[in-house]
Structure formats: C-alpha cells, structure tokens
Amino acid sequence: MAVRGAEEVADMADGAQGGGRENEAARRRRRAQFLRELTEARELRDRVQPRRAKAARLRHAMRMRTFRW
C-alpha cells in the first residue's frame, strides 16, 4: 500500500473546498497513480507466482472465448 504524500493530502483537502475543475484534476491524478500501482502489483505477482499467473491467463482466455458479443 502506498503512503500518501503531503502534497496529495493538501490537494484532497483543497479539492473538497475548491472548484470542480481542480477536484476533477486531483481525482484523475489519484486514479492514474492507483492504476499504475495496480498494474505494477499484478506484474510483480505474475513474476513471483508464474504458475498461478498462467492459470489466471488460461481462465481469462476461456471466459473471453465463451463470452457472447
């Protein structure tokens, strides 16, 4: 879990009081950071547990094959 920086906490406090545009920009920044960390965590898990990652890939492929467009 990542530790929030002082700047990010200040952005969140300002976003609650400030206009919608700054709040939206802060939300997008936080979301982008979260998605980067999530991707990094998945890649790390795949490297550490290759057998589980392969099984997950195969399950996902099976779900996609049986999905009806």
Where residue 6 falls among pLDDT bands split at 50, 70, 90?
low
Contacting residues for 40 by C-beta, under 8 A, at least 6 apart: none
> Binning pLDDT at 50, 70 and 90, where does residue 16 land?
low
Q: What are the structural domain ranges in the chain?
A: 6-66
Report whether 15 contacts 22 (CB < 8 A): yes
* Model-wide pTM > 0.85: no
Q: Burial of 11 by CB count in 10 Å (0-12 exposed, 13-18 middle, 19+ buried)?
A: buried
36-56 pLDDT per residue, tens: 999 999 999 889 988 988 998
